[in-house]
Amino acid sequence: MLLFFYSCFLYLLQPWIWLIFWRRCRRNVLYRQFWRERIGLQFLSKSDVWVHCVSLGEAKVIIPTLLALFDQYPSLIFYVTCSSPSARALIEKKLGHHVSFGYLPFDFYFCMRRFIEQLQPKICLIVEREWWPNMLGILERKKIPVVLCNARLSESSLRQYYPWRWFMRSVLSAFTEVLVQAQQDKKRLEKLGIPSTRMLVTGSVKYDLEIEKAVIDEAISWRNQWVDRPVWVAGSVHASEFNAILSVHQKLLQKHENALLVIAPRHPERFELCAKRIELKNLKMAKRSLKNHVHDSIQVLLVDTIGELLLFYGTADVVFIGGSLVEYGGHNPIEAAALSVPCLIGPYHENFVEICAKLHEKKGLSYIGDAIELYQHVLFYFTTPEVARNHGVAGLDVVTANQGATLVQYNTIASYLAEL
């Protein structure tokens, strides 16, 4: 009955849902592609295992586990869904030879039912936090096991869900097993109605990052070109942070006239907006997409490409993690820490509280309250390179010490697949 009312409410919201999606399509033309998949009108073959990873970060998390599962269970048919063009591109690049893939339909009941009835999965693996009520309700009614991998729930998200816990309890009952990142996540999920007996604390799979040697070699090559320049990287930056970061760089140039900012917007549809903001600040810019030479007079390198943030993290003296000066929740600092680079993160990092706390405890990460403190910390690392190196090594030690969750996740999932 609850799902019936949810579906009715969702249909009433259709005009707004389509308006939001239309605006997204205007900003990023890639969202206009494969639109039939968004409404469940694609034609699918039966698959044994359905894997859903909503965006690029979740796709990165599950790919190593999937590659190992392909080797162990070559006869099983996998189908992978996502919701963003960047995740789709990564899935095609890394898994395209092994799986079929597509976009997850909107959670309208008839779209989702048609999709699942065509796919007929024997098990569904969901990465981190995709709790679509109709999707989970249909899977539960069909008695299809659902495993939630690398699950997390921030305190702010709990506050949003808690008033609706009577509804969330029925939605989350679809999960057969939940693999959670930390004990705190487990406690929060219990408050929403998931029994502790269904949850296993594995640690975060994000620590099990494998950086390809080619990426490290290319980062070293770039850094050798900038050997006499202080470099900082602002990664996964949101549009509302552009001005603050560029203003910080203008102040840094007054102290270090050869300083270089490498800025990577979080969303591809914001690349051009970022370029315009850089021009308005009268900063000399090179664009990565144009393969511009970053000569000594260039003050900002705009990374307007997808999948190269890790490379440029490896060139930095210090990294700022975007989405944290605004109320977005922050992004993953592990990638920078794994490259022995000290990290800075703003006050809004609730999506990665436990990870940030571990890095901060060992000085691999520093908290900053605003743009003024961002300037002060970047300047500090520019003027004390030995401290920057020590803090970077400390961050790498934290990453190494917390690895192993992927193996636990793999073993748990494999135990289900062995029964198919």
136 and 224 assigned to the same domain:
no
**pLDDT at position 24:** 87
Residue 6: inside a domain, yes or no?
A: no
The CATH number for 153's domain is 3.40.50.11720
Q: What is the structure's pLDDT at 1? A: 73
Shared domain for 283 and 395, answered yes or no, is: yes
The predicted structure's pLDDT at residue 312: 98
Please give the pLDDT value at position 113: 96
Task: Compute mean pLDDT per 10 residues along the chain, 420 residues long, and list them.
Answer: 85 89 86 90 93 94 95 96 94 93 96 96 95 96 97 92 93 97 95 96 93 93 94 98 98 97 94 97 96 92 94 98 95 96 97 95 98 98 97 98 96 94
Indicate if 115 and 218 belong to the same structural domain. Answer: no
- Residue 36: inside a domain, yes or no? no
Which range of residues forms the domain containing residue 59?
Answer: 43-208+404-417
Whether residue 347 is contained in a domain is answered as yes
Give pTM, 2 decimals.
Answer: 0.88
Whether residues 239 and 377 fall in one domain: yes
- CATH of residue 292's domain is 3.40.50.2000
Let me know whether 237 and 376 are in one domain.
yes
Same-domain check for residues 301 and 282: yes
> What is the per-residue pLDDT for 398?
98
Domain membership of residue 348 (yes or no) is yes
The rounded distance, in Å, linking the Cα atoms of 5 and 11 is 10
Catalytic residue among 37, 58, 130, 335: 58
pLDDT of residue 210: 87
For residue 177, indicate whether it is catalytic: no
User: Do 58 and 198 sit in the same domain of this protein?
Assistant: yes
